[in-house]
Structure 1
């Protein structure tokens, strides 16, 4: 097993700081190249992170040819994800890409097929899976304390004043944020999407041009119903960035505030109008799959070194992405939509 890998990072915008900051703490990774269409941005990142020996360029193919990396980190804008990832896979590189996997479902299918053909790992930055709370919730549900979940409700309300391109995006909440929540719902339940009905609107007072609020009702495999309510222009009483969760099963319920707060109750006795309930504890997660971006980058690097894979591989993540595109389709058509991969 090799003890070090060479990496090229593509896309030196704001998000690249989180990636390069994490990589700077991993001696097993050598960043040998930085690429950006604005070459000055790549030079700035090289200076910021003391990468003076990194090959700098604006053309990915040229940088790959000059550096022969093992992995490519794709931090480009969503519209460039397919082109950049295909180029990296064609050069025999493993790829970890920022979400979304692709800007269309057709593009995502191409990437899944290309990764399978290349024999290389293609994974997506679903950093919300590397949250200690969601890991604890999944562990609690896996133990069967409340039985097999049949209902998952999530509220996401944040008044996010980003400015810039998000203010003008179509379907801004669904496309730019909701995939995190949708992916977490799949993660904690182990269920896959079947269908969705979504209503999207832009409330009075919204500083976005389009679609800052949405509600969506998903049917998941096994008859599970997942309800999402959210807004990016909700002033006051904001939820956490992971949302507020309630999961219901035949034996009880559990709530999670998206941070460190849990409450769970199970049925102690039946026979009356209301069942007798008792509080139960949600055990803390003691594993190492935490740390957001840094945690997933670390796991990806270790998977490359060991010949394994991470659980956000494209062949799985495309199911979460399909939920986003189906919700958008439903909102535009004002009809329920079956979800196909």
Structure 2
């Protein structure tokens, strides 16, 4: 279960960046859309050539606020492309329920996609998009931006020196008062937040989860309609366990938004408070340094790796970035499996969740070409990296 340390690739600089920039269309111009506009503007290896939003006034306001007056704007990706805008890739910052339609439209137009998390709210749609990427022979990458904290890279480096991880735990306690749709969700913590910690567990343990038991509940003082707290135990094969204990209505002594982590490994232990540099100690009590590298963080890190991967592929090199759609399905599956366990009160196997999603994808897929790709898979579990 040990792993080698991977650094996030950064796109090589060009002698003439203006002539060789990756031309991007961004779809989605809301609050998170403005965050992405800033990241794109700050990256010298990309150029924004168009902005899409169902509400073109929202897009125009976001463009103007970013100093992008005159940027081509449309209410749909198809509409922008029909206007003759030429691009190399799409950044999808729409709401999750729109990810499938936007991503498949971009892929069918020959454009690789960097998509905000989660890839989808259902495994069936995730698998449909994976098949669409295969049909297009193109890259579909999900921005799991918390993998790009410098502290996370340092923590992976420390864990690589400590051998196989046997147990990992994350405590997450916050008390945000969002208002709006989160207040009405049946499982707001699990569905809207926990994918960050679940995905980091996969990344830091260096293995895939196989089963989960989850108990969710709602404290008497909660301002959420659905369960705002949960405890989950994930099995990672036979030799590793990840426990998550969290709440979104826990005022006082709050943790970082990244959570508070501890790892026990064959040759020592490591911990991270979610904000500071991680700490680690080997079996003889020797402290291991945290190598905090000067790398782009959060969405800037996602964007840099997306660009670097596309450049690698252009040169004929293999490139599989963090968040590539095939493997990212497992992070969505962790959420779905935890919710199913909380609802049923029983342990849930991740393989069962994936296989049920695959059957749903085959039954619901409307595109004959994508359905043919789905049907060609000899094992959906192999496809998402759960076996083999």
| TM-score band w.r.t. shorter chain | over 0.9
Give TM-score, length-normalised by structure 1. 0.92
* 1:291 aligned residue: 297
* 1:337 aligned residue: 348
Q: Structure 1, residues 205-235: CA drift from partner, whole Å, max 9, x if none?
A: 1111112101100001352100000011110
- The 5 A counterparts of 1:162-173 are 162-173=178-189
Bigger Cα displacement from structure 2, 326-335 vs 168-177: 168-177
Bigger Cα displacement from structure 2, 295-304 vs 116-125: 295-304
Conserved 8 A contact 2:158-2:280: no
Distance 1:212 1:256, change over 3 A: same
Distance 1:197 1:40, change over 3 A: same
Conserved 8 A contact 2:158-2:288: no
Q: Provide the aligned length of Structure 1 versus Structure 2.
A: 329
Corresponding residue to 2:107 among 86, 89, 94: 89
Give the 3-state SS of the residue equivalent to 1:155 in structure 2.
Answer: strand
Bigger Cα displacement from structure 2, 224-233 vs 290-299: 290-299
* 1:56 aligned residue: 73
Conserved 8 A contact 1:4-1:305: no
Give the 3-state SS of the residue equivalent to 2:246 in structure 1.
Answer: strand
User: What is the CA distance between 1:250 and its match in structure 2?
Assistant: 3.1
1:281 aligns with 2:297: no
* 2:364 aligned residue: none
d(CA) in 2 for partners of 1:107 and 1:39?
27
1:228 aligns with 2:244: yes
Q: Structure 1, residues 247-285: CA drift from partner, whole Å, max 9, x if none?
A: 0123322221112143433333xxxxxxxxx24133223
Unpaired runs of at least 5, structure 1:
269-277
* 2:326 aligned residue: 315
* 1:4 aligned residue: 21
Conserved 8 A contact 2:333-2:350: yes
d(CA) in 2 for partners of 1:81 and 1:122?
11
The structure richer in strand per residue is: 1
- The 5 A counterparts of 1:206-221 are 206-221=222-237
d(CA) in 1 for partners of 2:260 and 2:143?
22
d(CA) in 2 for partners of 1:49 and 1:169?
33
Corresponding residue to 2:269 among 230, 253, 262: 253
* 2:192 aligned residue: 176
Give TM-score, length-normalised by structure 2. 0.81
1:100 aligns with 2:106: no
1:14 aligns with 2:31: yes
* 2:360 aligned residue: none
Unpaired runs of at least 5, structure 2:
1-13, 314-318, 355-388
User: What is the CA distance between 1:318 and its match in structure 2?
Assistant: 0.7
d(CA) in 2 for partners of 1:324 and 1:152?
17
User: What is the CA distance between 1:306 and its match in structure 2?
Assistant: 3.2
d(CA) in 2 for partners of 1:51 and 1:164?
30
